[in-house]
Chains A and B, each alone.
Chain A
Amino acid sequence: MALTTDEVRHIANLARVALSDAEVERFREQLSSILEHFETLTQIDTTDVPPTAQTLELVNVERPDEPRPSATTDEVLLNAPRRDGPYLRVRAVLD
């Protein structure tokens, strides 16, 4: 199925990726051809077939809730793009 330019822009917005006009057009063509390839799945009968999310047969893996050492503030902030003392600095989201 062929995607429209608006659909590509909508997906890009959901994914928070700023795309140039040239990128939008290139992705529109490439994503359309990839989605077309997915159409083959509609020919497979999956009536009453449960989905597989993961292949291990483990269910509800738990551990005792005990305190353990964790990373220090300095370690956590080691890679911070913008730091303000013991905090991450971010742009205001609301005015």
Chain B
Amino acid sequence: MPINLDVTAHEHARHLRAGEYTARALAEATMDRLEAQEPHLNAYVRLTREDALTQAAAADARLASGDAAPLTGIPIAIKDLLSTKGVPTTASSQMLEHFVPIVDCTVVARLREAGSVFVGKANLDEFAMGSSTEHSAFGPTRNPWDLERVPGGSSGGSAATVAARGVPLATGTDTGGSIRQPASLTGILGLKPTYGRVSRFGVIAFASSLEQVGPFARDAEDIANFLAAIAGHDPCDSTTSPLPVPDYTEGLGRGLEGLRVGVPDALFAEGLEDGVREAVEAAIEVFAANGASVTRGIELPTATAALPVYYLIAPSEASANLARYDGVKYGHSNHDGPTATLEMARTRDEGFGDEVKRRIMIGTYALSAGYYDAYYLKAQKVRTLIRREFAAAFERYDVVLTPTAPGVAFRLGEKTADPLAMYLNDLFTIPANIAGIPAMSIPCGFAQGLPVGLQLMARPFAEGTLIRAADAYGALTDWHLQAPSALEGVS
């Protein structure tokens, strides 16, 4: 049968198991489409056709033996922040342009075990620092809904390729919204798991107390299967939880009956685009009309302070994590300096882009003598207050609902000159990273022809609740089925 590349991973899995097409044929068709789209989107730092075809052949053998997992033979894009053994992993930075990992990160190793097929390394904001994928050393990724607009970031390549129906699944990482905000801006689903649910081993470090790897997909069932494949304890990452991984498909088909939804209206009272507000209000109506009990105006007074807390904690952790790029062990290395110290400083000036330097400088300042108590320690104390507020809210509500981002996809170059304007994009997504809770963006409408996303947050390790709500909302609406048209006629 002809292969329809626009379907979900679980639909591909059904066709593969029925023998209607092979993983090899799916991989070839996928690579053909990705190669045709790439000049328009720039969603990848590197496409890996040969590796994909080899993995697909192994997947076909496994399918033939009847031992297939849900992701066996499924094409997946890997964010280029995740180490892939033998395949360059750049973090979209000049610093790591030629870096070749000697191990797979745990997430990639688990996806390999599941038999999935890696199509390439997806573009991102350098070292995952940004909200537009414009801060990539290898050029910006474009939004398939409008090629003059950004796909969000930092996981913009991953989001753009899933939205463009290039692949059904992609990995992202989310430190302050880097999965959810691009999911919102490209009209797909994206989940940031609870801190500690997914291993960070082998993921190039940015802010270690905040970041998590998570899935992009086009429906809730795919999110459930993808998360199940990558979640769980890892002896190589001592911040992974020993809690067992539940069956995330249990919540599918259960509807919204009895779901307690809290809406912190004050959190998004200001700075929200009208079209986003209208789409989110309509979505709240859908929840209320279909069995959920919706409470408006719940209190999360300190959550608005999450943005300055984040922009102190994340750069502080980044300044420590990125100290390793010294030009000695790996990465870009300057050999022209008159002294060892100056060679190191030149290595870092040449290797890092502006946004990375800016964050290293903020973090270095916040941690420096005389300022530690006023900035870093203060931010960590406010972090405690934010955690407590969310814990109190989750005693009364199963999910907290907000817009994912204050606006729709913006134009390339619109916000690059003003870092603070760019940071404000993450106003609603950052609180979940500060509190360590799971959160998901779900397509909920359009404004000016561009996708709008709804964010749901839940108590720690309640990813199943988010998947249930996303599945139920997806059954009542068809926003997640809308496909972009900017690449029609390409492949």
> Beyond A41-B308, A42-B378, A81-B328, is A49–B385 a contact (Cβ under 8 Å)?
yes
Contact A31–B341 (Cβ < 8 Å): no
For chain A, which range describes its interface: under 10, 10 to 19, 20 to 34, or 35 or more residues? 35 or more
Interface residues of B in 311-337 (CB under 8 A from A): 311-312, 319, 323, 326-333, 335, 337
Interface residues of A in 11-61 (CB under 8 A from B): 11-19, 23, 27, 30-31, 33-35, 37-38, 40-42, 44, 46, 49-56, 58, 61
Does chain A have a CB within 8 A of B209? Answer: yes
Contact B327–A51 (Cβ < 8 Å): no
Does chain A have a CB within 8 A of B361? Answer: yes
Q: Please give me the residue from chain B that is nearest to A7 by CB atom.
A: B365
Contact B330–A40 (Cβ < 8 Å): no
Q: Which residues of A contact B381 (CB under 8 A)?
A: 46, 49-52
Contact A79–B333 (Cβ < 8 Å): no
Q: Say how far A39's CB is from chain B's closest CB, in angstroms.
A: 8
Interface string of A65-88 (1 = CB under 8 A from B): 000000100011011111000001
Q: Please give me the residue from chain A that is nearest to B388 by CB atom.
A: A49
Give CA–CA (A4, B460) in the complex, Å: 43
Q: Say how far B233's CB is from chain A's closest CB, in angstroms.
A: 10
Give CA–CA (A50, B377) in the complex, Å: 9
Give CA–CA (A13, B238) in the complex, Å: 33
Q: Please give me the residue from chain A that is nearest to B86 by CB atom.
A: A78
Does chain A have a CB within 8 A of B349? Answer: yes
> Beyond A90-B328, A91-B339, is A17–B387 a contact (Cβ under 8 Å)?
no
Which of the residues A17, A50, A91 comes within 8 Å of B384, measured between beta carbons?
Answer: A50
Contact B309–A41 (Cβ < 8 Å): yes
Q: Please give me the residue from chain A that is nearest to B385 by CB atom.
A: A49
Taking A53-B380, A56-B196 as known contacts, 7 extra A-B pairs with beta carbons closer than 8 A to each other, sorted by chain A number, are: A12-B361, A17-B352, A18-B345, A34-B423, A44-B385, A55-B460, A78-B102
Give CA–CA (A80, B435) in the complex, Å: 39
Q: Which residues of B contact A15 (CB under 8 A)?
A: 319, 348, 360-361, 364
Instruction: Output the residue of B335, B375, B380 with the most chain A CB within 10 A.
Output: B380
Q: Say how far B389's CB is from chain A's closest CB, in angstroms.
A: 12
Number of interface residues of B (CB under 8 A): 67
Give CA–CA (A20, B33) in the complex, Å: 43
Interface of B is mostly: helix
Contact A40–B308 (Cβ < 8 Å): yes
Give CA–CA (A82, B343) in the complex, Å: 13
> Beyond A30-B358, A34-B362, is A41–B384 a contact (Cβ under 8 Å)?
no
Contact B339–A54 (Cβ < 8 Å): no
> Beyond A34-B419, A49-B381, A81-B330, is A56–B361 a contact (Cβ under 8 Å)?
no
Give CA–CA (A40, B330) in the complex, Å: 40
Q: Which residues of A contact B (CB under 8 A)?
A: 8, 11-19, 23, 27, 30-31, 33-35, 37-38, 40-42, 44, 46, 49-56, 58, 61, 63, 71, 75-76, 78-82, 88, 90-93
Give CA–CA (A42, B345) in the complex, Å: 34
> Beyond A19-B349, A41-B305, is A46–B420 a contact (Cβ under 8 Å)?
no
Contact B384–A52 (Cβ < 8 Å): yes
> Beyond A51-B380, A91-B340, is A18–B419 a contact (Cβ under 8 Å)?
no
Q: Which residues of B contact A (CB under 8 A)?
A: 98-100, 102-103, 195-196, 209, 235, 238-239, 241, 302, 305, 307-309, 311-312, 319, 323, 326-333, 335, 337, 339-346, 348-349, 352, 357-358, 360-362, 364-365, 368, 375, 377-385, 387, 419-420, 423, 435-436, 460
Contact A51–B384 (Cβ < 8 Å): yes
Q: Which residues of A contact B326 (CB under 8 A)?
A: 16
Give CA–CA (A34, B419) in the complex, Å: 8
Contact A55–B357 (Cβ < 8 Å): no
Q: Which residues of B contact A92 (CB under 8 A)?
A: 340
6 closest A-B pairs by beta carbon, nearest first, are A55-B436, A51-B380, A81-B333, A79-B330, A18-B345, A46-B381
Q: Which residues of A contact B435 (CB under 8 A)?
A: 55
Q: Which residues of B contact A76 (CB under 8 A)?
A: 102
A-B contact pairs, 14 of them (CB 8 A): A12-B345, A14-B368, A17-B348, A31-B358, A31-B361, A33-B420, A34-B358, A34-B423, A40-B305, A41-B378, A46-B384, A55-B435, A79-B100, A81-B330
Q: Which residues of A contact B364 (CB under 8 A)?
A: 11, 14-15
Contact A8–B361 (Cβ < 8 Å): yes
> Beyond A37-B311, A81-B330, A90-B328, is A30–B349 a contact (Cβ under 8 Å)?
no
Q: Say how far A5's CB is from chain B's closest CB, in angstroms.
A: 13
